[in-house]
Amino acid sequence: MLAARSIVFNLLFYLTLAILMIFGCPAMLGGRRGIFALANVWRATSVWLLETICGLRIEYRGIENIPAGGVLIAAKHQSFLETFALLKYAPDFAIILKRQLTYIPFFGLYLIVSKQIAIDRARGRRALQQIEEASRPVLAAGRQIFIYPEGTRRPPGAPARYKPGVAAIYAANAAPCLPVAVNTGLFWRRRGFLRRPGIAVIEYLPPILPGLGREAFAVRLQNEIEAACDRLNAEAIASDPTLEAFVEDGARCDRPDSAWT
């Protein structure tokens, strides 16, 4: 039954995404705002499909911690789920993403028109400078910047691998950083098609105010996000002990014999 529900969801999820991208092109005439409105239709539809077909509900916590104005949102990235779920409380955002995504037909055009921040990660130090320069006008305009501190999806329980980009943005701007913890990877794994029932939690932690040194900020951000994710994982496992196997798999993900490599 789990596999059947997951197959139906995946078919409808990607079909909906394709339809919105193709027939939603007129939204680009509204610029960034028009595209964000379309993105929220995608978010709401996807959440409804998850709840109705898969029995997977999304719970938001710590909404009161979201500051007004420009903010750097540093979110743990475990699955594709948070890619759309996080849009609910970000009315005017820019995402730090790899430049190759802008080459995807239709999707890339949406990224360009909505003024997302596309980075050539192969350029090393120059990429960091590009991130710093691109972030300033976005935050100064009172918009939100999304960044996944590890740069890619990491399964629950995997050793943390935070990259310097998030600390570079924080140090270059007088804006707070909002850490976000999740347990989404327990229900929507980064590989595989199964979508497990349960409650996927997205928790906004207290913001880290400007003024910390780059290294102190990086340590604090990682410690707070990882501790919160461990807590959310433990909470989910207490309700469904079978989820513990996914955390154990994640802990082995960097080993040469791991199925995650």
Q: For 90-102, what is each residue's pLDDT tens digit?
A: 999 999 888 888 9
**Residue-range domains of the chain with CATH:** 56-251 (3.40.50)
Residue 233 contacts by C-beta under 8 Å, 6 or more apart in sequence? 156, 157, 183, 186, 243, 247
Q: What is the pLDDT of residue 119?
A: 83
CB 218 within 8 A of CB 30: no
- The pLDDT confidence band at residue 121, using thresholds 50, 70 and 90, is low
pLDDT in tens, 186-201: 999 988 889 999 999 9
- Cα 153 from Cα 130, distance rounded (Å): 22
Q: What is the C-alpha separation between 93 and 84, in angstroms, rounded? A: 12
Return d(Cα 202, Cα 47) in angstroms, integer. 13
d(CA 48, CA 154): 25
Q: Calculate the dihedral angle through the C-alpha atoms of 119, 163, 80, 137, rounding to the nearest 10 degrees.
A: -40
pLDDT-derived band at 258, boundaries 50, 70, 90: very low
Are the C-beta atoms of 220 and 230 separated by less than 8 Å?
no
Q: Residue 187 carries which side chain, given as an amino acid letter? A: F
**pLDDT of 261:** 28
Q: 3-state DSSP helix/strand/coil percent for the chain, to nearest 5?
A: 55, 15, 30
pLDDT score of 80 more than 50: yes
Averaged pLDDT of the chain = 91
Rounded distance between C-alpha atoms, residue 217 and residue 30, angstroms: 38
**pTM of the full structure:** 0.90
